[in-house]
Structure 1
Amino acid sequence: MSTSLGHIASSLEYSLLHPIMTDADLATELQRARDFKVAAVCVKPYSIPTAVSALQGTNVLVCTVVGFPYGDSTTNLKVFEAREAMEAGAHEVELLINVGKVLGGDWDYVRNEIQAVNQIVAPRGDLKVIFESHFLSEQQIVELCRICTGVGVAAIKTSSGYGYVQDLCGSYRYPDTIAPQLELMKNNCGQGEVKIEAALEIRRVREIIFFERLLGVSRVTVGEAGAAAIMGDARQLGVTDVVQVVWIPLPS
């Protein structure tokens, strides 16, 4: 297949949301984002001005979160957060929906909240709605896709990366998004009108290609380690800054 380091990096959103990240850590990772030339960085709301300044002169977009990490804020508070984010210079906003309202079938609440935040973000940027799809049934995923398409959001996203579940042994784990969930999102998001993004623990270029080409994912969110591993893997495969044909085996 034909690809380049720039193409692979343009498929990545660099998540800088770890709760113990310091300002010094943030500065280091923003420089790394510049070097990698990723599509976007997702930062905490207070970090937006720092990210905008650090990435000035690049094509790296600044994304932030609203209602993070569990979506439990009131709609009015989410609207306030979104407005403040756009005024601070964010290009994209990721909205954590109230998953409890989805599970309870309160679709009017869910729709009204998404619409209220989109009205703030859409004139100046892109709103992306996070589903936490591993908690949802197929029918709930389909209905959320229908609502998001109707409202006209820019993108839908599988998960936040923070929706941990407790297993029978008492340990906490984060379930990876599976292909059927992405297929549902792909098939129910308005004939490509709404982009699909995925938060995944991946480390290989072939996984990026699989999700992008076979499941219609436009961007994959990874952490610091994931981005470094993927770009390192690309170089090991012989991918360079120049677009060229490279043999990349896809996952079976």
Structure 2
Amino acid sequence: MEGTKPKCELTVAQFAKLFDHTNLKAYATDEDFQKLCREAADYGFRMVAINSCQTKLCKEYLKGTDVHVGAAISFPLGQTTLPVKLAETVDAIENGADEIDYVLHVGKLKMGDTDYIREEMRAIVDVCRKHGVISKVIFENCYLTKEEIKTAALIAKEVRPDFIKTSTGFGTGGATVEDVQLMKETVGDLVKVKAAGGVRDLETCLAMVEAGAERIGSSSSVALTEAYQAYINK
């Protein structure tokens, strides 16, 4: 990046707290998760984002730190029934999850079944609230029209999850500044926005924050934080 300082005038520590440090790969090993958790603790990231079966493991690795463990639910397709999503959510919470990122039923949204989307969101958010756990709803915007994104965001505005999230990172596309802006404009201050999927360079990251993202999901959190530190120290 060249020119003036970024509009995002955060300290390095504040910048690091934007990140949900991510490893959702099917072939990741315990050693990989140990490394993920060590990096999250060393850099002061907000959360590690992992598949739900690694929740207990990462909770143990992060014992004594303030880094949250975030479990991905019905990941990456969202194509499980509500009882299954609820069971996975409860299991993750029982294993120590501090945050839940669930994938909504994209097909139901595209069919215009807003009652289903509302029921699913309310049920999962209610479980999270009951246990004092942060809830995030993954839209998977690459498969949605702008109107469908707005429809899901309006339901979120009513149900009040803690965050709505752009993408899994496993679809045909990731976060865009335009989508972050649309989501934030729709929910206002009632729900926060998380940008995820393809956020790998500092310019893109700062643009997402400027557009209204208050969390960034990325597997490049270390490189981004180091790039930010180098940039503001120029």
- Compute the TM-score of the two structures, normalised by the length of structure 2: 0.91
Distance 1:203 1:139, change over 3 A: closer
1:54 aligns with 2:61: yes
The letter of the residue matching 2:25 is H
Q: How far has the Cα of 1:32 moved from its partner?
A: 1.2
The letter of the residue matching 2:216 is V
Q: How far has the Cα of 1:144 moved from its partner?
A: 0.5
- Give the structure 2 partner of residue 145 of structure 1: 153
- Give the structure 2 partner of residue 236 of structure 1: 230
The letter of the residue matching 1:218 is E
Distance 1:31 1:142, change over 3 A: same
Secondary structure at 1:38's aligned position in 2? coil
The letter of the residue matching 2:224 is I
8 Å Cα contact 1:5-1:231 kept in structure 2: yes
Aligned length: 226
Q: How far has the Cα of 1:238 moved from its partner?
A: 5.0
Equivalent residue in structure 1 for 2:137, among 129, 133, 151 = 129
5+ residue gaps, structure 1: 165-174, 240-246, 248-252
Mapping 1:144-223, distance limit 5 Å = 144-164=152-172, 175-189=173-187, 191-212=188-209, 214-223=210-219
Secondary structure at 1:3's aligned position in 2? coil
8 Å Cα contact 2:199-2:217 kept in structure 1: no
The 2-side partners of 1:89 and 1:121 are apart by: 12
- Give the structure 1 partner of residue 102 of structure 2: 95
The 2-side partners of 1:181 and 1:202 are apart by: 13
Moved over 4 A (4+): none
8 Å Cα contact 1:195-1:217 kept in structure 2: yes
Equivalent residue in structure 2 for 1:84, among 73, 79, 91 = 91
Secondary structure at 1:43's aligned position in 2? strand
5+ residue gaps, structure 2: none
8 Å Cα contact 1:8-1:205 kept in structure 2: no
Identity %: 27
Q: How far has the Cα of 1:202 moved from its partner?
A: 3.1
- Give the structure 2 partner of residue 170 of structure 1: none
Secondary structure at 2:195's aligned position in 1? strand
Secondary structure at 1:115's aligned position in 2? helix
1:109 aligns with 2:116: yes
Distance 1:232 1:143, change over 3 A: same
